[in-house]
A and B are shown apart, each in its own frame.
Chain A
Amino acid sequence: MDKFDCIIIGAGPAGVAAALTLVRKGLTVAVFERGEYPGSKNLFGGILYSTVLNKLIPNFREDAPVERHITKRRYSILSKNSEMAVEFDFEDFNHSPFNNSFTVLRAKFDRWFAQKAEEAGAVIFTETVVDDFIYDKGKVSGIKARREGGDVYTDVVICAEGANSLLTEKAGLKKKPLPHQMITASKEVISLPREAIEDRFSLNNDEGMALEFFGGAVKWMIGSGFIYTNGDSLSVGVGCPISVMKENNMKPNDLLESFKSHPVIKKLLRGGKTEELSAKMIPELGCKNLPRLIADGLLIVGDAAGFVNPSLYREGTNMAMASGVAAAETILEAKEKGDFSEKGLEGYIKRLKDSFVMKDLERYGDVPEKLSEMPQLFKEYPDAILKMAEGYFTISDLSKDEMHRQAWKGFKDKVSLWRFLLDMYKARKAIL
């Protein structure tokens, strides 16, 4: 096989964004994808932020398989059988650029995105696993694909292999993540007619909604459940740190089923039909535990690098694309200098630091760590708050004042007020 200017491992958003950027500048690029087609092994919860995609493919919305643009958000805490929610509806997000927030189904979207890179000149080898790098005097100079004549050479490799980062770890750039640094998420795509979705979630044509649920949604563990509206389906899932799942001997599928059968969630899924089950790990390494991002002849991008904003934004794919573009720009610079050593690739780190990627990771990267110190946020508070609210709204023979007193007393018996206020302050400071 010929030598390529750059080899990219993985045809997800990070790898393809890099490929697109490089081929447009005339470099020869090979992308290796182990799935039957790009996207066939990819999934996420639901929302693609498109600020980077906008620059790569302006007007992508006219062509790309996007499901809905997000105009509504709802955050809820659930107790065993009640809900307290805050809901936002932004009419202004109904106009271009639609707040750069779209639900997509990745098997469709990633396939389309990869096709754009292919049309621009990237060579995509599907059904091809990469098992290792080839080294020349310590510098990565190619890859070993699991096929005949699978040694392929290059100046530089971008590793966009995803969250289950076997190669990055093998190359010694990353330690195997610890159970508390990875979320295990399970999801179902549940079909539902468009009209039913729009009626149920109060949406106009193409408008979409993102819903996230805490507390009783995931058996009062740290983590959350979610529902995202697609065109004619819902993405419904749960995600919790693997460490927390282990502590509770919890089966992900049991957790998902328990979420789906919560009385509040059950109502939202009526008329639906499960079409597919999927599962994925989400890296939440924290900005202090990111892997080494560059080595001689090698750059790490996307989930493999741990580029996920774990706060309420839940941003992964956009960071992946941003890191892919940053890696590609660095390679263009390195090619001009003819230096693909680690030193020659340092521009990648600078680009990330100057962009929202590192800034947001520094701001939000340790949110999970901070929240893990306050399990009561997910465990005790949801029920205490909802019980108090239920008491407040309960109509009985007692005077309203008496009902309020009882509700308040019930709350204070369960929760230390000072600790509650302090926790609320700390949680707000961490998340918002």
Chain B
Amino acid sequence: MNKIEQALQPLEPKTLSEKLFLVRFKTDTESHLKVNSEKCKVCRDKSCIYICPAEVYKLDEKENIIISYEGCLECGTCRIACEFIEWMNPKGGYGVCYKFG
């Protein structure tokens, strides 16, 4: 394929996990995000499940919230969407490390 043909190819689709795989993370052993499971039990909206740009929060079969903090982009959106999420900055040097930003 020449350069011009190449520039006209559609953008290669990528799933969220494939995109997160492109981002560099230094992963801590402890989560910097905590949910209040008592509140979660009675929470109807569960906005954390969809509001996170990295979809860090997932429900397991027992309707418990699983936090994949390793892929957190540290935007803080979940903290604003839910009043009960405890958000701490990851340890210094840990967490997301953008190459472009």
Residues of A within 8 A of B (CB): 34-36, 39-44, 105-108, 110, 126-129, 131, 145-147, 163-164, 166, 176-179, 182, 184-186, 188-190, 192-193, 195-196, 199-200, 233, 242, 245-246, 249-253, 256, 260, 266, 269-281
Contacts and interface: CB of A to CB of B under 8 A. Distances in A.
B4 to A, nearest CB: 8
Contact of A276 (B3, B23, B26, B52): B23
A97 B80 CA distance: 39
A44 B101 CA distance: 7
Interface of B: 3, 6-12, 14, 16, 19-20, 22-23, 26, 45, 47, 50-55, 73-77, 79-81, 83, 87-93, 95-101
A280 B89 contact: no
10 contacts: A43-B98, A43-B100, A108-B100, A189-B100, A250-B50, A253-B54, A256-B53, A277-B19, A277-B23, A278-B23
B77 A252 contact: yes
Contact of A146 (B23, B91, B97, B99): B91
Closest 7 CB pairs of A and B: A127-B93, A164-B76, A107-B101, A271-B7, A279-B53, A106-B101, A252-B53
Nearest to A252: B53
Nearest to B19: A277
Contacts of A192: 7
A245 B23 contact: no
Secondary structure call for the B interface: loop
Given A164-B79, A277-B22, A279-B75, A246 B51 contact: yes
Contacts of B91: 129, 146
Contacts of B14: 274
A277 B11 contact: no
B77 A166 contact: no
A266 B51 contact: no
A189 B80 CA distance: 25
B77 to A, nearest CB: 4
B71 to A, nearest CB: 10
Q: Name the residue in B6, B45, B76, B88 with the highest tally of chain A Cβ atoms < 10 Å from its Cβ.
A: B76
Contacts of B95: 41
B93 A281 contact: no
Q: Name the residue in B45, B47, B83 with the highest tally of chain A Cβ atoms < 10 Å from its Cβ.
A: B47
Contact of B89 (A106, A166, A177): A166
A112 to B, nearest CB: 12
Contact of B80 (A43, A106, A182, A273): A182
A381 B74 CA distance: 35
B45 to A, nearest CB: 7
Contacts of B74: 41, 164
Contact of A278 (B11, B50, B52, B98): B98
Contacts of A277: 16, 19-20, 22-23, 53-54, 73
